[in-house]
């Protein structure tokens, strides 16, 4: 009986897939007829694409059909192992892109069409056999919210399906692919984007697709990915990037993902420092210091995770020196000697830490030479003022 049910279910799925393909024919034809002149004016292009759409799904499909028909996979960039396009304008002008470019452009098309869409990074495999999972994510696709449900799209693979094993064996494409099939060759770096009641692990994903599918179908619910996604999308982009980097490492703890997490933490410190910059004046020094302290904390965390690059060391030392300078300025406004002395001693401590950080740079490093002299000069001032108060 169990085998019969599975056969009937599979036959039913094939019928649904064929019906869905026919359903999109008119929308696809409309999208492919979009005037080429519109590609450089996204608002007008999107308005054209969604004009005949009656549902959110049809809007999403029209955008997808235009994208896979008009943007080719960038073989040149792939051969060079680097991304040539730096923004959406270049993607449109060149008419070529890597997976990140497809994902980025689809997000923007959806945004202008009033659809909520996010980029998803993760791991992929071209076939359905077992594989050794790469140490870091190397593919990007999209998740979009349609009629209250998150769905999955991969425009990159939709644009160049070739001899696709998943499509051939399971009669599906890469627009709104069912999660139980999408997971057979796409493993998100964050488990919530599997959209499965019970997510698979990296080790399980490495198994042959047939084995993985049997495992998925035999499981009960064990997670609440909808709640996790709902909380995630409410966060700002900077916080999302930080949590994604941490989650990627915790899901697949490789040295490469650990390094990427450290970089994301440093990026957050840079962001906070940029926010603090305009506050570095007398009437905002306390708020400035709050930002600086958070940025310094992030730098310390990043240094615990991975060896810093020279520029990261320079940035960290600069934060410490700026903190000391702000404390010196703030000490002049103190109401008591005790408060002024405490702030000066705190600033001196930051200068000494900055000096130790700078000494880890190569001796010939210009920033090290310049900043060490600056630290020594500030340190003399702090020590003199502390001695005066004591």
- HSE, side-chain direction, 13 A CA sphere, residue 344: 23
pLDDT at 191: 97
Instruction: With a cut of 70, say whether residue 110 has pLDDT above it.
Output: yes
74 and 179 both lie in a single domain: yes
Domain count, the chain: 2
Is the backbone of residue 186 left (phi > 0), alpha (psi -120 to 50) or beta?
beta
Residue 9 within any structural domain of the chain: no
Contacts for 212-219: CB closer than 8 Å, 24+ residues apart: 212/183, 212/184, 213/180, 213/181, 213/184, 216/180, 216/183, 217/180
pLDDT at 19: 46
> CATH code at 291?
1.25.40
The rounded distance, in Å, linking the Cα atoms of 313 and 109 is 39
Residue 204 within any structural domain of the chain: yes
343 and 316 both lie in a single domain: yes
Residue 8 within any structural domain of the chain: no
Residue 4 within any structural domain of the chain: no
When pLDDT is averaged across residues 295-299 and rounded to a whole number, the result is: 97
pLDDT at 316: 97
Closest alpha carbon to 147 in 56, 51, 16, 59: 56
Percent over 70 (pLDDT), the chain? 93
Q: What is the mean pLDDT of the chain?
A: 90
Residue 58 within any structural domain of the chain: yes
221 and 280 both lie in a single domain: no
Instruction: With a cut of 70, say whether residue 17 has pLDDT above it.
Output: no
Instruction: With a cut of 60, say whether residue 347 has pLDDT above it.
Output: yes
pLDDT at 23: 75
> CATH code at 173?
3.10.620
When pLDDT is averaged across residues 327-348 and rounded to a whole number, the result is: 89
Instruction: With a cut of 50, say whether residue 335 has pLDDT above it.
Output: yes
Percent over 90 (pLDDT), the chain? 73
Instruction: With a cut of 90, say whether residue 260 has pLDDT above it.
Output: yes
Is the backbone of residue 368 left (phi > 0), alpha (psi -120 to 50) or beta?
alpha
226 and 264 both lie in a single domain: no
Residue 17 within any structural domain of the chain: no
369 and 229 both lie in a single domain: no
Boundary of a domain, candidates 209, 233, 257:
233
82 and 219 both lie in a single domain: yes
Burial label, 360 (beta-carbon count in 10 A; 0-12, 13-18, 19+): middle
Q: Which structure tokens are listed for 65?
A: 């059909």
Residue 6 within any structural domain of the chain: no
Residue 71 within any structural domain of the chain: yes
Boundary of a domain, candidates 183, 200, 233:
233
213 and 291 both lie in a single domain: no
108 and 253 both lie in a single domain: no
Map the chain to HEC letters. CHHHHHHHHHHHHHHHHHHHHHHCHHHHHHHHCCCHHHHHCHHHHHHHHHCCCCCHHHHHHHHHHHHHHHCEECHHHHHHCCCCCCCHHHHHHHCEECHHHHHHHHHHHHHHCCCEEEEEEEEECCCCCCCCCCCCCCEEEEEEEECCEEEEECHHHHHCCCCCHHHHHHCCCCECCCHHHHCCCEEECCHHHHCCCCCCCHHHHCCCHHHHHHHHHCCCCCCCHHHHHHHHHCCCHHHHHHHHHHHHHHHCCCHHHHHHHHHHHHHHHHHHHHHHHHHCCHHHHHHHHHHHHHHHHHHHHHHHHCCCCHHHHHHHHHHHHHHHHHHHHHHCCCCCHHHHHHHHHHHHHHHHHHHHHHCCCCCCCHHHHHHHHHHHHHHHHHHHHHHHHC
167 and 242 both lie in a single domain: no
pLDDT at 241: 93
pLDDT at 80: 85
Q: pLDDT tier at 282 (50, 70, 90 boundaries)?
A: low
Question: Which of 71-80, 251-260, 274-283, 357-366 is least confident?
Answer: 274-283
Instruction: With a cut of 90, say whether residue 277 has pLDDT above it.
Output: no
288 and 183 both lie in a single domain: no
Instruction: With a cut of 50, say whether residue 226 has pLDDT above it.
Output: yes
Instruction: With a cut of 90, say whether residue 378 has pLDDT above it.
Output: yes
221 and 276 both lie in a single domain: no
CB of 270 within 8 A of CB of 315? yes
214 and 323 both lie in a single domain: no
Boundary of a domain, candidates 201, 233, 265:
233
Query: What is the extent of the structural domain holding 188?
Result: 23-233
């Amino acid at each position: 009986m169990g085998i019969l049910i599975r056969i009937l279910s599979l036959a039913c799925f094939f019928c649904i897939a064929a019906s869905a393909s026919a359903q999109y024919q008119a929308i696809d034809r409309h999208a492919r007829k979009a005037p080429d002149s519109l590609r450089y004016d996204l608002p007008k292009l999107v308005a054209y694409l969604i004009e005949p759409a009656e549902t959110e799904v049809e809007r999403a499909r029209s955008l997808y059909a235009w994208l896979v028909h008009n943007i080719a996979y960038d073989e040149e960039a792939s051969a060079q192992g680097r991304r040539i396009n730096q923004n959406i304008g270049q993607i449109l002008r060149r008419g070529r892109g890597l997976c990140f470019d497809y994902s980025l452009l689809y997000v923007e098309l959806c945004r202008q069409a009033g659809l909520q869409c996010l980029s998803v990074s993760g791991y992929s495999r071209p076939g359905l056999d077992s594989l050794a999972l790469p140490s870091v994510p190397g593919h990007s696709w999209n998740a979009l919210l349609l009629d209250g449900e998150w769905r999955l799209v991969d425009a990159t693979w939709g644009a160049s399906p070739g001899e696709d094993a998943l499509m051939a064996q399971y009669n599906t494409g890469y627009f709104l692919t069912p999660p139980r099939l999408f997971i057979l060759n796409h493993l998100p770096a964050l488990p919530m984007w599997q959209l499965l009641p019970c997510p698979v692990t990296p080790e399980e994903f490495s198994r042959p697709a047939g084995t993985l599918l049997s495992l998925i179908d035999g499981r009960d619910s064990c997670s609440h990915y909808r709640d996790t996604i709902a909380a995630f999308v409410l966060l700002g982009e900077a916080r999302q990037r930080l949590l994604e980097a941490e989650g990627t490492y915790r899901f697949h703890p490789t040295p490469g993902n650990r390094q990427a997490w450290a970089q994301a933490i440093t990026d957050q410190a840079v962001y906070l420092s940029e926010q603090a910059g305009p506050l570095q004046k007398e009437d905002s020094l306390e708020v400035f210091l709050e930002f600086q302290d958070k940025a310094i904390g992030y730098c310390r965390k990043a240094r615990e995770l991975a060896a810093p690059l020279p520029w990261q060391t320079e940035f960290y030392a600069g934060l410490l020196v700026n903190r000391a300078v702000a404390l010196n300025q703030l000490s002049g406004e103190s109401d008591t000697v005790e408060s002024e002395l405490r702030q000066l001693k705190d600033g001196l401590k930051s200068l000494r830490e900055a000096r130790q950080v700078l000494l880890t740079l190569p001796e010939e490093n210009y920033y090290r030479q310049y900043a060490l002299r600056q630290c020594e000069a500030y340190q003399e001032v702090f020590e003199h003022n502390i001695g005066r108060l004591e």
